[in-house]
A and B are shown apart, each in its own frame.
Chain A
Amino acid sequence: MDFMPVLLWSDVLIWLLVLASVAFGALSSRNPLWRGAWRRIGRSRAGMASATVLLVFVAVGLLDSLHYRPRLAEEPGQGAAAAVYGVEVLSVLDALLTPLRTRTEKTYSAPLATRAYAKEAVDVRDADGQPRQIRDHPRLKYGGAHLGADEGGRDADIGERVLRACGLALALWSAVAAAFTVAMARARGCSPAQAWRRIWCNESDFAGNAVLGALAGLLLLNLPLALLAGDYHVFGTDKVGQDVFYQVLKSVRTALVIGLVTTLVTLPLSIVLGVLAGYFRGWVDDLIQYLYTTLSSIPGVLLIAAAVLMMQVLIDTHPQWFTTAAERADLRLLALCFILGLTSWTSLCRLLRGETMKLRELEYIQAAQSFGVADLRIIARHILPNLMHIVIIALVMDFSSMVLTEAVLSYIDIGVDPTMISFGTMINNARMELAREPAVWWSLLAAFAFMFTLVLAANLLADAVRDAFDPRLAGAA
């Protein structure tokens, strides 16, 4: 084998999460109440458009969650020794982006530039063969290298590529739209033309126009990027010459892990404790209330900082646990998720406790209790299903705030491992670059654009989900 698959802990969790959400989707489609909620989301245009955008982010994240270690080239004289694998852990995304990953310049270069951003002393030879030093922007090693000496042709080249990409995008989009329309027509039993009109006039119960619109936007933005990224640094390069585009793509996974795994940690804790406290009252309630009041009364940052430092010590004192630096960084990421989860379960817990208290006063539950139905059964059959909408809303609402929190934590050095690319570490580095003169703005802007899109999409989807699931809002919206 040319590679050895590596299963990082966060990969395991991410894929489990994918499985779980598929299973949940299948299960919930059987429940009429839930089906209605899903349909409401399907009808929400903002929700569906942002879901489309989010899917792209998730796809990038998932590609980045399949890890392996490449095999080192065999030494000629070594014979048939056991295969040796490098210590560098790569992902499928890395493999796809190999040109971006490996084509590093010496230092800063602006987006789409062919020359470095700063002047440097360059050795040139005069006409008479004398070596001489001049100061100039040196030519980049990779950025626009295919142009050769014809640097003036850059704009034309870029324009041509963009045009080509747009054409391609249009073609692709038409194909998808046509397929969608035909499928729609089949399902409804109407002509494609009618289906087409229905989609665009918002007459179906699925916001197809939003999905198609978002898709068009995505294609029009991403295809030019993809076509240009091969030969240029579309978002420039950072201080050590790494491609910024590559870095933002890598950041996506970190953000997703932080946003999703953290909520995964909070859920069991807050559900179990919240329901127990609300249902049993008495000393159980007192104890759980004590626990979460104590935890939430400690300023969050302090608690997180202390916990992160502690985890850091644990990692540092057990280097034998990790064979690669990636595993170390990964564990630190996971630990950060757990810490964030442990410090943020309290609010959801309080919410669930209150709701459970309300529910248990309802007549049919009182009746079930007086019939002697076991408490656990009541909880499982009657209470939990009625809490689910709160849980789902909390889940989607927390996602974006977690992504934002990561950036802040990385700024005060208690975030992810410094070797791990994340929006936080990118912003942290870019902050310094802005103070340069002329300012290096592209890292910050790229991180901003991607993070903004991700969080905005997540927020919009969260709104749609809340509107769909919240029984109070369900009628109003």
Chain B
Amino acid sequence: MPFLRLVFLSLLLLTACGSEQNDPYPLGERGGNILYAAFTERPKHLDPVQSYSEDEIAFTAQIYEPPLQYHYLRRPYALVPATGETVPVARYYDAQGRELPADAPAASIASSVYEIRLRPGIRYQPHPAFAVDDAGHPWYDRLDREQLRGIDKVADFAKTGSRELLADDYIYQIKRLAHPRLHSPIFSLMAERIVGLRELGATLRTAAKTLPADGWLDLDRFQLPGVTRVDSHTYRIVLHGKYPQFAYWLAMPFFAPVPREVDRFYSQPGMAEKNLTLDWYPVGTGPFMLTENNPNSRMVLERNPNFHGESYPCDGEAGDRAAGLLDDCGKALPFIDKAVYSREKESIPYWNKFLQGYYDASGISSDSYDQAVRLGVGGDVQLTDEMREKGIRLLTSVRPSIFYQGFNMLDPVVGGLSESATKLRQAVSIAIDQEEFISIFMNGRGIAANSPLPPGIFGFVDGEAGINPVVYDWVDGQARRKPIEVAKKLLAEAGWPNGRNARSGEPLVLYLDTTGGGMGDKSRLDWLTRQFAKLDIQLVVRSTDYNRFQNKVRKGAVQLFYMGWNADYPDPENFLFLLAGSEGKVATGGENGANYVNPEFDRLFEQMKNMESSGPRGAERLAIIRQAVAVLQRDAPWIYGFHPKNYTLGHVWLHNRKPTDMGNNTLKYQRIDVAARQESRQAWNRPVLWPLAAMAAGLLLLVLPAAVGYRRRERGTAR
């Protein structure tokens, strides 16, 4: 029987190879200085103009180098130069072009200027776009479809070259933000800030119309007045007004360099059909370059041979030294030769492969949580003994994000700033026990939020001063959720005693919109219904697909909804703007899904928006933020849910890991002890062979009577 043969064959193969039968990687990679990681969502865009999601930035941040980066170890997050010589300091000018002092009031500032000086001698990764002939003319600049025959990936081009990083490359990329055929998510935001960018967008749009569909739009033919070249290694960006958060943007790949010849190279006819685009094969100066791009199963980053060199930082936060994070001080980066990212869509295989040692690090999904982590005495987290035996280490950090349930402030029942509606919202805010939610559904991986601001963001206050007085009391040195009776009382005052309308006796029915699907959804919704039932409020959950949900929020056709926000940069403005009246979703299509408008809050927000957190006016800014947060807590336009905590596990052979949520270019700091990894993998992956033998025996038992019967029958018919 063929099946039997298959079993025997595999048995043979198994015994031949011994241990690590379940190694998902090619044999040739064993023992290499390679980091193994996984990605769940396939990155859609690797072009720095378009990539914005975390899955994409995980790759682009290793390849592209914007002028600035976040310091790997220091907290609070600090910007340090990457390709720039220093972190630029803005110079301010008034409407007449006179320079103003740094502490000038924001209203008087007409423009701010950032001047960035690049370090000399930085070179790009080898790439065919840089290949030149003896005369210095680009080798591959007149390709057509015929010449591209037989070429399927960038590695198929015979010649490559490199060149020095210049200021022009940065300027070219800023112009690309306005490119009519690319869709930069930050174009409209930056068009308001960078002088002339909006106009450039309009010009380019008209210019693109006259071009053939696959024609190249040479951006150097167009001027962007807000971005100028000072010399070959220096450029200047002019912004409207004051925008102190701009420096953070300069640490994102949106402001990475893109050389004109690369853009030219990829826009030749026939390239796009073969996926030879910047979206697929990024080109940068960073420590790594993308050598294999198969977003369905495997992405490979390899060390850039032309990397300009950088050394491991020698200072950090208190405790970094004890944690061994400073051991590699001054050593040359990067440490690893190669990083292999495999696609894991499902959490189960991901987790199991991590335990088998085939991934060097892993997050913890809530399903594998019990196995990995336990809460110690006093609420601190520890690894389980099983994990510790394996030498696995745990890293935790609170992410600069917030998950919340928003009330639609335009809704006749829960919306509006009237006292009754406010009390209704406050009552609900008390009733929904976020602590329980976190403990059941997040396994404690989060902290309940008191305001939109997560820890680590300027304006966050810990302890008694920071609690939300509407929801919590301060008892025995810790925040305690107010008892449900308080909520019931508030609800009664709001005109809904025991969940019934005081006048008509109708029950209070609230509608919650969520995006459906996914694991454990049903149980989460059941839990939520129970929370509302505590106030005798009937909750109806309407789960819809993502688009429909967005649409409803946009039209204001929701009552309660689940949402979340990840910070773009570590500044309170990036959170509080989610509630600014000017960002109203229904009114302006902005990010304020709750459509909350409170003039008092808006005034405070406008005030704090353009202030620096550090320096002399920091205290003043903090005071304004505190006031604004107090307004939000009172009005309760959101149920402040929680700030999720990141728990990641790393194997003992992986060194120099520190949780970071802002800087993404962390791959270069990682170091691997290859020998230790090899040893552990061998020990953990001894195959269990008896079931195969048992299966073979079982099959034999089945076949035997059949064979006996067969012979008897044959003889029977023969006779």
A/B touching: CB–CB < 8 A: yes
Band of interface residues on B:
35 or more
Say yes or no for B413: interface residue by CB 8 A criterion: no
The contact string, 1 if C-beta is below 8 Å from chain A, for chain B 544-556, is: 1100100010000
Q: Given A78-B505, A437-B371, are A418 and B522 neighbors across the interface (CB < 8 Å)?
A: yes
Say yes or no for A178: interface residue by CB 8 A criterion: no
> Distance in Å from the Cβ of A426 to the closest Cβ of chain B?
10
Q: Please tell me if the beta carbons of B505 and A135 are within 8 angstroms of each other in the complex.
A: no
Say yes or no for B693: interface residue by CB 8 A criterion: no
Q: Please tell me if the beta carbons of A107 and B500 are within 8 angstroms of each other in the complex.
A: no
Q: Please tell me if the beta carbons of B522 and A425 are within 8 angstroms of each other in the complex.
A: yes
> Distance in Å from the Cβ of A80 to the closest Cβ of chain B?
10
Instruction: Give complex CA distance A86, B509 in Å.
Output: 10
A413: nearest chain-B partner, CB-CB = B517
Instruction: Give complex CA distance A78, B498 in Å.
Output: 11
The contact string, 1 if C-beta is below 8 Å from chain A, for chain B 535-561, is: 000101111110010001000000000
Q: Given A87-B540, A239-B523, A240-B526, are A435 and B517 neighbors across the interface (CB < 8 Å)?
A: no
Say yes or no for A31: interface residue by CB 8 A criterion: no
Q: Please tell me if the beta carbons of A86 and B538 are within 8 angstroms of each other in the complex.
A: yes
Q: Please tell me if the beta carbons of A240 and B347 are within 8 angstroms of each other in the complex.
A: no
Q: Which residues of chain B have C-beta atoms less than 8 A from A84's C-beta?
A: 500, 505-507
* A residues 417-451 touching B (CB-CB < 8 Å): 418-419, 425, 428-429, 431-437
Q: Please tell me if the beta carbons of A316 and B517 are within 8 angstroms of each other in the complex.
A: no
Most chain A beta-carbon contacts within 10 A, residue among B377, B440, B505, B522: B522
Instruction: Give complex CA distance A78, B497 in Å.
Output: 11
The contact string, 1 if C-beta is below 8 Å from chain A, for chain B 187-228, is: 000000000000000000000000000000000000000000
Q: Which residues of chain B have C-beta atoms less than 8 A from A121's C-beta?
A: 375, 377, 379
* A residues 84-132 touching B (CB-CB < 8 Å): 84, 86-87, 106-107, 118-119, 121
Q: Which residues of chain A have C-beta atoms less than 8 A from B348's C-beta?
A: 431-432, 434-435
Residue in contact with B351 in the complex, picked from A82, A118, A428, A435, CB distance below 8 Å: A435
Q: Which residues of chain A have C-beta atoms less than 8 A from B542's C-beta?
A: 316, 319, 328
Q: Please tell me if the beta carbons of A432 and B519 are within 8 angstroms of each other in the complex.
A: yes
Q: Please tell me if the beta carbons of A433 and B521 are within 8 angstroms of each other in the complex.
A: no
Instruction: Give complex CA distance A87, B540 in Å.
Output: 8
> Distance in Å from the Cβ of B363 to the closest Cβ of chain A?
14
* B residues 293-307 touching A (CB-CB < 8 Å): none
Q: Given A432-B347, A436-B368, are A75 and B440 neighbors across the interface (CB < 8 Å)?
A: no
A135: nearest chain-B partner, CB-CB = B374
Q: Given A84-B506, A84-B507, are A309 and B516 neighbors across the interface (CB < 8 Å)?
A: no
Instruction: Give complex CA distance A425, B516 in Å.
Output: 13
Say yes or no for A467: interface residue by CB 8 A criterion: no
Q: Please tell me if the beta carbons of A75 and B498 are within 8 angstroms of each other in the complex.
A: yes
* A residues 303-348 touching B (CB-CB < 8 Å): 309, 312-313, 316-317, 319, 324-325, 328
Say yes or no for A72: interface residue by CB 8 A criterion: yes
Q: Please tell me if the beta carbons of A433 and B367 are within 8 angstroms of each other in the complex.
A: yes
Instruction: Give complex CA distance A42, B108 in Å.
Output: 96
Say yes or no for A133: interface residue by CB 8 A criterion: yes
Say yes or no for A238: interface residue by CB 8 A criterion: yes
The contact string, 1 if C-beta is below 8 Å from chain B, for chain A 184-212, is: 00000000000000000000000000000
Instruction: Give complex CA distance A433, B379 in Å.
Output: 25
* B residues 550-601 touching A (CB-CB < 8 Å): 552
Q: Count chain A residues whose beta carbon lies closer than 8 angstroms to a beta carbon of B.
A: 41
Q: Please tell me if the beta carbons of A419 and B541 are within 8 angstroms of each other in the complex.
A: yes
Q: Please tell me if the beta carbons of A106 and B505 are within 8 angstroms of each other in the complex.
A: no
A118: nearest chain-B partner, CB-CB = B370
Say yes or no for B615: interface residue by CB 8 A criterion: no
B549: nearest chain-A partner, CB-CB = A316
> Distance in Å from the Cβ of B274 to the closest Cβ of chain A?
28
Q: Please tell me if the beta carbons of A239 and B520 are within 8 angstroms of each other in the complex.
A: yes
Q: Please tell me if the beta carbons of A238 and B523 are within 8 angstroms of each other in the complex.
A: yes
Q: Which residues of chain B have C-beta atoms less than 8 A from A316's C-beta?
A: 542, 544-545, 548, 552
> Distance in Å from the Cβ of B520 to the closest Cβ of chain A?
6
* B residues 348-369 touching A (CB-CB < 8 Å): 348, 351-352, 367-368
Say yes or no for A81: interface residue by CB 8 A criterion: yes
Q: Which residues of chain A have C-beta atoms less than 8 A from B463's C-beta?
A: none
Q: Please tell me if the beta carbons of B368 and A75 are within 8 angstroms of each other in the complex.
A: no
Q: Which residues of chain B have C-beta atoms less than 8 A from A413's C-beta?
A: 517
Instruction: Give complex CA distance A317, B552 in Å.
Output: 9
Q: Which residues of chain A have C-beta atoms less than 8 A from B540's C-beta?
A: 87, 324-325
Instruction: Give complex CA distance A436, B369 in Å.
Output: 8
Q: Which residues of chain B have C-beta atoms less than 8 A from A119's C-beta?
A: 374
Q: Which residues of chain B have C-beta atoms less than 8 A from A432's C-beta?
A: 347-348, 367, 519-520
Instruction: Give complex CA distance A135, B380 in Å.
Output: 13
Q: Which residues of chain A have C-beta atoms less than 8 A from B157's C-beta?
A: none
Most chain A beta-carbon contacts within 10 A, residue among B347, B352, B375, B378: B375
A133: nearest chain-B partner, CB-CB = B377
A437: nearest chain-B partner, CB-CB = B371
Most chain B beta-carbon contacts within 10 A, residue among A238, A419, A433: A419
Say yes or no for B525: interface residue by CB 8 A criterion: yes
Q: Which residues of chain B have C-beta atoms less than 8 A from A86's C-beta?
A: 507, 538
> Distance in Å from the Cβ of B237 to the closest Cβ of chain A?
45
Residue in contact with A436 in the complex, picked from B367, B516, B527, B552, CB distance below 8 Å: B367
> Distance in Å from the Cβ of A6 to the closest Cβ of chain B?
15
B521: nearest chain-A partner, CB-CB = A418
> Distance in Å from the Cβ of B552 to the closest Cβ of chain A?
8
Instruction: Give complex CA distance A433, B348 in Å.
Output: 9
Q: Which residues of chain B have C-beta atoms less than 8 A from A324's C-beta?
A: 540
B351: nearest chain-A partner, CB-CB = A435
The contact string, 1 if C-beta is below 8 Å from chain A, for chain B 478-504, is: 000000000000000000011010001
* A residues 455-469 touching B (CB-CB < 8 Å): none
Q: Please tell me if the beta carbons of B368 and A435 are within 8 angstroms of each other in the complex.
A: yes
B507: nearest chain-A partner, CB-CB = A84
The contact string, 1 if C-beta is below 8 Å from chain B, for chain A 374-418, is: 000000000000000000000000000000000000000100001
Instruction: Give complex CA distance A206, B174 in Å.
Output: 86
> Distance in Å from the Cβ of B514 to the closest Cβ of chain A?
10
> Distance in Å from the Cβ of B375 to the closest Cβ of chain A?
5
Instruction: Give complex CA distance A423, B497 in Å.
Output: 40
Q: Given A75-B500, A240-B526, A413-B517, are A435 and B352 neighbors across the interface (CB < 8 Å)?
A: yes
Q: Please tell me if the beta carbons of A309 and B371 are within 8 angstroms of each other in the complex.
A: no
Q: Which residues of chain B have C-beta atoms less than 8 A from A81's C-beta?
A: 504-505
Residue in contact with A87 in the complex, picked from B347, B517, B538, CB distance below 8 Å: B538
Residue in contact with A313 in the complex, picked from B377, B440, B523, B548, CB distance below 8 Å: B548
A117: nearest chain-B partner, CB-CB = B370
> Distance in Å from the Cβ of A355 to the closest Cβ of chain B?
37
Instruction: Give complex CA distance A459, B548 in Å.
Output: 40
Q: Please tell me if the beta carbons of B378 and A436 are within 8 angstroms of each other in the complex.
A: no
> Distance in Å from the Cβ of B31 to the closest Cβ of chain A?
29
Instruction: Give complex CA distance A118, B440 in Å.
Output: 12
Residue in contact with A107 in the complex, picked from B371, B377, B440, CB distance below 8 Å: B440
Q: Which residues of chain A have C-beta atoms less than 8 A from B522's C-beta?
A: 418-419, 425, 429
> Distance in Å from the Cβ of A164 to the closest Cβ of chain B?
34
Most chain A beta-carbon contacts within 10 A, residue among B379, B525, B543: B543
5 A-B pairs closest in CB distance = A240-B523, A81-B505, A435-B348, A437-B371, A87-B538
A-B contact pairs, 15 of them (CB 8 A): A75-B500, A78-B500, A81-B504, A84-B507, A87-B509, A107-B440, A242-B523, A312-B548, A316-B545, A316-B552, A319-B542, A418-B516, A425-B522, A432-B520, A435-B368
Given contacts A75-B498, A317-B548, A429-B520, 10 further A-B contacts (CB under 8 A): A75-B497, A75-B500, A78-B505, A84-B505, A87-B509, A238-B523, A312-B545, A319-B542, A325-B541, A436-B367
Q: Which residues of A approach B to under 8 Å, CB–CB?
A: 72, 75, 78, 81-82, 84, 86-87, 106-107, 118-119, 121, 133, 135, 238-240, 242, 309, 312-313, 316-317, 319, 324-325, 328, 413, 418-419, 425, 428-429, 431-437
Q: Which residues of B approach A to under 8 Å, CB–CB?
A: 347-348, 351-352, 367-368, 370-371, 374-375, 377-379, 386, 440, 497-498, 500, 504-507, 509, 511, 516-517, 519-523, 525-527, 538, 540-545, 548, 552
